[in-house]
Structure 1
Amino acid sequence: MDRRSILKHAGIAGVLAAGAAPAVHAQAAIRWRLASSFPKALDTIYGAAEVFAEKVNAMSGGKFVVSVHPAGELMPAFGIVDGVQQGTVEAGHTAPYYYFGKDDTFAMGTAIPFGLNSRQLTAWYFDGNGMKLFREFYDKYNIINFPGGNTGSQMGGWYRKEVKTVADIKGLKMRIGGFAGKVLTRMGGVPQNIPGGEIYQALEKGTIDATEWVGPYDDEKLGFFKVAKNYYYPGWWEGGAQLDFYINKAAFNALSKEYQAIVEAATAYAHTEMQARYDARNPQAIKRLVANGAKVLPFPKAVMDEAFKQSMALYTELNDTNPAWKKIYTDYSAFRKDANVWFRFTEANFDNFMQRQKL
């Protein structure tokens, strides 16, 4: 009788007697597909999904394999929620605010204008109520979410013409991510929600007057500086834009506790590594952009003030009309208030001092 036959038919005593005791924690092989909202060329933001897959594979000893698929390969860039919810794929990596059309509440999962910065958002998720509240929200979509990276504070985008006054926003056709377009609309702009891989062509052809994406490292790869030279800061709508891993609830619950822990650990690693990559690569990229003719400009105070005013008015309206938004935003805004008091004494003052020094 061969070894496999022994393992199949013998009782535990017989197996032990045969000297072929199985591993106590043996796990069945698992294969998942993960759909990304991003093109493969963006090694930072798309790369977070690859980092996740690599860590899952390594921690499972090759028993749990996740294949990563760029936007458009399995489904459209903005089709991740539907794909994961319906079980077309087991997992997705995306920016929650892409789905504000389903419910504005999604936006808080990534960034809202004048919201939390990246460290504050991570703190709210992991040590505040953010994770709990969003797990409750996503339950109706059959999704379990895990933070999946953060870009840090973003730039304000590329503009064909300079923005000198609030009036310059009126009629401006701008590619802007998701929910922030509502504020742009209130300021007289015309938002366009275009996937990353399609932005350059729209800007080059004049279909749009301006675009934002992330920051210098990704923007350089996408080539925006070739067709629009005015590079504004800050991205007031994305003080710390978080990505999420969306996992189909049934697929996650079908995993062993060990594999669930591997998924949780791998997402946390990818979450940390994404911002590390941006923070390490953006400084050199902005130098190269300036060398190639980019004009780095601050938004005028009047534009910032108007954007803030319109953002706060929008949140008041949503509190009155959307119970899901109100439940999460009430906690989010209270956390933001306390976090900003603390950061004012420490992070902000230290950063401002250091940035004035010539080291």
Structure 2
Amino acid sequence: MDRRSLIKTAGIGGILAAGAAPAVHAQAAVRWRLASSFPKSLDTIYGAAEVFSQKVRQLSGGRFEVSVHAAGELMPAFGVVDGVQQGSIEAAHTAPYYFFGKDETFAIGGAIPFGLNSRQMSAWTFEGNGLKLMREFYAKYNIVNFACGNTGAQMGGWFRKEIKSAADLKGLKFRIGGFAGKVLERMGGVPQNIPGGDIYPALEKGTIDAAEWIGPYDDLKLGFHKVAPFYYYPGWWEGGLQLDLYINQKAYDALSAEQKSIVEMASAYAHVETQAKYDVKNPTALKQLVGSGAKLRPFPGDVMAAAFKESMKLYDELSAKNENWKKVYADFSKFRSDQNLWFRFTEATFDRFMQSQKL
């Protein structure tokens, strides 16, 4: 009996029962849980994980779903690396520098004081050696990483009192993100590493004297201007914070080649969209903050100079004692030098001219 006759007489059900149909290898549905280090109220930075999740679902036709959970729902904001490493969750979305206590090298994957701006960080990650070097490092923690958002350059934070010189930082209790606290400490400050959702009450009660988060849009949502009027710039410790998607190695290895491509494409989409959102929302929010009484101030020159000096000394010390740091930072540092030479003649010159014009 030929194939067409078989179809006519047996029907599709008979074919399947007889095993005569060609094999169809449908991929099993994948369900992951992702723990964020951020609260839902911050629709930009928390939202990056949601954008990733939506794209994964769309690209997979609904057969790959990632449920996103805000900080504290599955685990604390700073517990997500342990969760991914141990396999209790498949993925996390976070700021790498939160975990410098495990190894300072984590911070390079996010932002370090006087590091790279957002464009340079993306260039190092995608076209330089950044992704390769950080993946080698993260493999020690059973993690596969993907860039998944960038905030762009950040503001320097909210202060109860005016900062007139570097001397005013001595004894200052300052909520500052992760690794940058090591530099602040060397300048006499007292760093506090507090999750985003807990900053306002600490600032309001006077438990801390100052706090930084990201920039105008998120800061307006969090209401910092109500309890600390002086708004400083720039955030010299975050020229472009890169957020990461961390995936458990075993969970990633279990994906098909197509599913791995979906993860790669979805994270890249979220990476670009996150900074686009910040660049759109921050200007309007800054106007609102100033209209509400926020007092914009640049950090004094001696603060910037002292911070830069202490940062470079710290990096030399870490290179002498931490082989992981030494390997990654050597490449990062060379890349930074080349990028700054290039940007000096192009982006920086163009930006300075445009910012001096009345448009």
C-alpha distance in structure 1 between counterparts of 2:28 and 2:283, whole Å: 45
Q: Deviations over 1:61-88 (max 9, x none)?
A: 0000100000000000001110001111
SS in 2 for 1:219: helix
Aligned-partner residue type, residue 280 of structure 2? A
C-alpha distance in structure 2 between counterparts of 1:130 and 1:286, whole Å: 33
Counting only pairs closer than 5 Å after superposition, residues 167-182 of structure 1 correspond to structure 2 as 167-182=167-182
SS in 2 for 1:79: helix
Structure 1 unaligned runs (5+)? none
SS in 1 for 2:78: coil
C-alpha distance in structure 2 between counterparts of 1:155 and 1:31, whole Å: 37
Q: Deviations over 1:187-218 (max 9, x none)?
A: 00000000000000000000000000000000
> What residue is the counterpart of 2:86 in the other structure?
86
Counting only pairs closer than 5 Å after superposition, residues 149-298 of structure 1 correspond to structure 2 as 149-298=149-298
> What residue is the counterpart of 2:21 in the other structure?
15
> What residue is the counterpart of 2:34 in the other structure?
34
SS in 2 for 1:92: strand
> What residue is the counterpart of 2:7 in the other structure?
none
C-alpha distance in structure 2 between counterparts of 1:300 and 1:324, whole Å: 34
SS in 2 for 1:245: strand
How has the CA–CA distance of structure 1 residues 145 and 346 changed in structure 2, closer, same or farther, with 3 Å as cutoff? same
> What residue is the counterpart of 2:109 in the other structure?
109
Aligned-partner residue type, residue 170 of structure 1? K
> What residue is the counterpart of 1:143 in the other structure?
143
SS in 2 for 1:284: helix
C-alpha distance in structure 1 between counterparts of 2:285 and 2:14, whole Å: 60
C-alpha distance in structure 2 between counterparts of 1:163 and 1:84, whole Å: 40
C-alpha distance in structure 2 between counterparts of 1:325 and 1:112, whole Å: 12
C-alpha distance in structure 1 between counterparts of 2:13 and 2:186, whole Å: 69
CA RMSD of the aligned region, Å? 1.3
Aligned-partner residue type, residue 192 of structure 2? Q
Using the TM superposition, give the Cα deviation of residue 3 of structure 1 relative to its aligned residue in structure 2, in angstroms.
6.3
Using the TM superposition, give the Cα deviation of residue 28 of structure 1 relative to its aligned residue in structure 2, in angstroms.
1.2
C-alpha distance in structure 2 between counterparts of 1:192 and 1:203, whole Å: 11
SS in 2 for 1:73: coil
C-alpha distance in structure 1 between counterparts of 2:313 and 2:11, whole Å: 74
C-alpha distance in structure 2 between counterparts of 1:10 and 1:123, whole Å: 55
Aligned-partner residue type, residue 281 of structure 1? K
How has the CA–CA distance of structure 1 residues 2 and 74 changed in structure 2, closer, same or farther, with 3 Å as cutoff? farther
SS in 2 for 1:15: coil
Over 3 Å off, 4+ runs: 1-7
Aligned-partner residue type, residue 10 of structure 1? A
C-alpha distance in structure 1 between counterparts of 2:15 and 2:295, whole Å: 73
Using the TM superposition, give the Cα deviation of residue 4 of structure 1 relative to its aligned residue in structure 2, in angstroms.
7.1
SS in 1 for 2:155: coil
Identity value in percent:
71
C-alpha distance in structure 2 between counterparts of 1:191 and 1:5, whole Å: 72
How has the CA–CA distance of structure 1 residues 294 and 2 changed in structure 2, closer, same or farther, with 3 Å as cutoff? farther
SS in 2 for 1:34: strand
Using the TM superposition, give the Cα deviation of residue 6 of structure 1 relative to its aligned residue in structure 2, in angstroms.
5.5
Using the TM superposition, give the Cα deviation of residue 10 of structure 1 relative to its aligned residue in structure 2, in angstroms.
3.4
C-alpha distance in structure 1 between counterparts of 2:299 and 2:120, whole Å: 24
Structure 2 unaligned runs (5+)? 1-9
Aligned-partner residue type, residue 83 of structure 2? G
- 2:100 equivalent to 1:100: yes
C-alpha distance in structure 1 between counterparts of 2:71 and 2:14, whole Å: 45
Counting only pairs closer than 5 Å after superposition, residues 331-342 of structure 1 correspond to structure 2 as 331-342=331-342
> What residue is the counterpart of 1:68 in the other structure?
68
C-alpha distance in structure 2 between counterparts of 1:357 and 1:310, whole Å: 35
Aligned-partner residue type, residue 263 of structure 2? V
> What residue is the counterpart of 2:356 in the other structure?
356
Using the TM superposition, give the Cα deviation of residue 27 of structure 1 relative to its aligned residue in structure 2, in angstroms.
1.7
> What residue is the counterpart of 2:133 in the other structure?
133
Aligned-partner residue type, residue 15 of structure 1? A
SS in 2 for 1:113: coil
TM-score for both structures, normalised by structure 1? 0.96
